[in-house]
Amino acid sequence: MTTETPLPSGVRVPDTELAREATELVRDTTGELIYHHSRRVYFFGSLQGRDRGLGFDPELLYVGAMFHDLGLSERFHSSGRRFEVDGADEARRFLRSHGVPEDGVRRVWTAIALHTTPGVPEFMEPEVALVTAGVEYDVLGIGYDDIAPGDREDVVALHPRPGFKRRILGAFTDGIRPKPETAFGNVKADVLQHYVPGFQRGDFVRVVLDSPWAE
């Protein structure tokens, strides 16, 4: 059994069988880009939760962070569903197989499913809010100065991010290119617009005007 050393801030990965198996699963099914990103999401979300005085379940937050981009994997390219839902469903299966109560399963599913839907998760349960907060911090730099520089540097030293901006955009593109219809109405349409020649983004106004209703 390997016990992980906490960061100098005191934030640590839960030392539980559930967390260890989540780590192993993500390491085995994704590349180092997604693995390191997912771990940073957990640490940044935890730091923000601590600083905001939020009470949260570290185990649920960890599973939400680790599974949040699992749906980008090649095995989901033909699912026809949003990658967020694919990852959320995998997390639900994982948690149920470990006997986690349904309220915890629901929180993790929701955290993953909504992590690319800005303006909603922040008003929900702490685990839901903090997965999104960690993602937005690591990918978009939202609230960059809210975390102390030393804490930020400790996380990046543990889980480096060389070339991360371009590499994560590449991962988004590869994960969504095979099912472009799932980008309608969400932020990933911007990714396909930039990186997939010929992509035609959906137009909500045209969908309304061209619906079968006469008026």
pLDDT in tens, the chain (215 residues): 456 888 888 999 999 999 999 999 999 999 999 999 999 999 999 999 999 999 999 999 999 999 999 999 999 999 999 999 999 999 999 999 999 999 999 999 999 999 999 999 999 999 999 999 999 999 999 999 999 999 999 999 999 999 999 999 999 999 999 999 999 999 999 999 999 999 999 999 999 999 999 99
Determine the pLDDT at residue 1: 44
SS (H, E, C) 169-195: HHHHHHHHCCCHHHHCCCCHHHHHHHH
Determine the pLDDT at residue 6: 84
In the structure encoding, which two tokens stand for residue 143, read together? Answer: 């609230």
The residue length of the chain stands at: 215
Determine the pLDDT at residue 3: 64
- d(C-alpha 110, C-alpha 121), whole Å: 9
Determine the pLDDT at residue 4: 82
- d(C-alpha 103, C-alpha 19), whole Å: 18
Helix extents (H) in the chain:
17-29, 32-51, 58-67, 83-97, 102-113, 126-135, 149-158, 164-176, 188-195, 204-209
DSSP letter (8 states) at residue 76: G
- d(C-alpha 71, C-alpha 38), whole Å: 13
Burial 122-143 (b: 16+ CB within 10 A, else e): eeebbbbbbbbbbbbbbbeeee
- d(C-alpha 187, C-alpha 115), whole Å: 11
Return the closest-CA partner of residue 128 out of 115, 144, 139, 119.
115
